[in-house]
Structure 1
């Protein structure tokens, strides 16, 4: 069995268990998975943090990390919490934007120049293209949690 974090087009997040990734894909394709909040059947996998169990030779519960270390830097627990919050917010926002793939720089520039309707988009671009967008005053920023392009998803 495998658990997936899922979200609908209404940005509702929920968990569901499946026998395998193939089982999820089959049920998704047949419209058998529905959001328990709104009933939407347009359900996708959401970004999720891995659940990794402790090694059997380690102490079951490690002492809690302080929020900051002796040098004032964030501790591991605080960093995990912050990263989880970033991943959750990104997963909430992605369904509201349109995937443009490798055409990101061209699509962003077209919107900036008024040649295309303004829209929330996400996609891929090179570091050089991203810097050129910023140099031209076009707002673009990297996603903090990497995503799998739709065409490469299970």
Structure 2
């Protein structure tokens, strides 16, 4: 079965994937009011522009069957998948909320922790591309956080 995967966005700006059994699946579920944001529950959901995903698995050379038995796992139904995606997004947002927002002092605080000047703690904030590059060159690992995971940047 070929699945159609669309990037969806609710009226609050939450972005998530929707997996559908056919190209008409999205339209049908949208018309029946079955689509909802897994983060906030909004039913005002639309497709975002996205690049198509091309499945070229059929172009590969067939492989010899493996000698050992493998356990197969069935993919969850689309409603279960949306619920799972929502739980993951809520968990990620909770992780972000548990960090201290140091704002524009992010690079300075990260460097001070790296050098042992202050105690390490989970922080978040803003940094320019040049500041992030300088931190990386000094062996300080930082990870960008999408705006939709950071409540402070959504306001």
Which TM class, normalised by the smaller chain length? 0.3 to 0.5
The two structures have a TM-score, normalised by structure 2, of 0.45
